[in-house]
């Protein structure tokens, strides 16, 4: 099997289509995040989307927040290339070709909102902690960090049953049996979910004043934190 041109299992040009066949409620997750920001921080001046992928989320966000200055970062050159096409005509800047834990230190810029959608579960536990701390350090006081991640069930039976449900979703979406099997085999090998409890502890350890669950279903969760 040919390796994808980014950390996910889908090539950048196919990502937006393939991810919807892979992640249940993918569009619901993004809608929940945008609605949260619209209510809680309706006029952010600056917004960083780390692990920006194809840029489709920022494109949609800019339609809702036309006065916001957006910044993007992603470790994959192929993703940033697709994002440049997706965001043609939009108001945005590239912070770097880097993962969240490697975001460059900034002396004169902080963000009102930082989003990280389906990107930190590829990190080790230590790498994930570094990524959360990086987001904390780049936020304005009172700013929001919102992240969506795969979440790990608490028991081995929970893992087995949740993976079975995840596989059933992918089959119903039209993925082949081989694709389903290959994706589920990546669990704890290429993506490394942690439990809801571990997520919340990481946010607390990073220094966030508040950390809460925004949305959760099966093995997908969305969390928000305020600095």
Quick check: is 82 in a domain? yes
Tell me, what CATH number does 211's domain have?
3.40.50.150
- The rounded radius of gyration (Å) of the Cα atoms in the chain is 17
Quick check: is 4 in a domain? no
pLDDT (tens digit, 9 = 90+) per residue, 88-104? 999 999 999 999 999 99
Burial (0-12, 13-18, 19+ Cβ within 10 Å), 183? buried
Top-confidence residue, 3 or 73:
73
Pairwise CA distance, residues 181 & 46, whole Å: 41
Residue 9 scores a pLDDT above 80: no
Pairwise CA distance, residues 136 & 121, whole Å: 18
pLDDT (tens digit, 9 = 90+) per residue, 166-197? 999 999 999 999 999 999 999 999 999 999 99
Question: Rounded to two decimals, what is the model's pTM?
Answer: 0.94
Quick check: is 5 in a domain? no
Q: How far is the CA of 171 from the CAs of 43, 72, 138, in angstroms?
A: 40, 33, 40
213 within 8 A of 195, measured Cβ to Cβ:
no
pLDDT of residue 13: 74
| Per-residue confidence band for 107, with pLDDT thresholds at 50, 70 and 90 | confident
Count of the separate structural domains present in the chain: 1
């Amino acid at each position: 099997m040919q390796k994808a041109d980014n950390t996910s299992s889908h090539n950048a040009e196919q990502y937006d289509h393939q991810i919807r066949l892979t992640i249940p409620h993918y569009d619901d997750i993004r809608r929940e995040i945008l609605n949260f920001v619209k209510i809680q921080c309706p006029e952010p001046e600056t917004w960083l989307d780390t692990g920006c992928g194809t840029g489709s989320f920022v494109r949609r966000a800019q339609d809702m927040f036309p006065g916001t200055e957006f910044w993007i970062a992603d470790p994959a050159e192929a993703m940033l290339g697709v994002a440049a096409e997706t965001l043609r005509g939009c108001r945005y800047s590239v912070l770097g070709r880097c993962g969240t834990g490697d975001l460059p230190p900034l002396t004169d810029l902080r963000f009102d909102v930082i989003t990280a959608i389906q990107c930190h579960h590829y990190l080790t536990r230590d790498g994930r902690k570094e990524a959360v701390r990086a987001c904390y350090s780049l936020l304005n006081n009172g700013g929001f960090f919102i992240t969506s991640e795969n979440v790990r069930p608490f028991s081995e039976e929970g893992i087995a049953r949740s993976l079975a449900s995840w596989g059933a979703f992918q089959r119903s979406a039209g993925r082949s049996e081989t694709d389903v099997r290959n994706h589920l085999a990546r669990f704890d090998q290429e993506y490394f979910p942690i439990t809801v409890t571990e997520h919340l502890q990481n946010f607390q350890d990073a220094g966030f004043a508040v950390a809460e669950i925004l949305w959760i279903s099966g093995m997908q969760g969305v969390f928000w934190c305020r600095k």
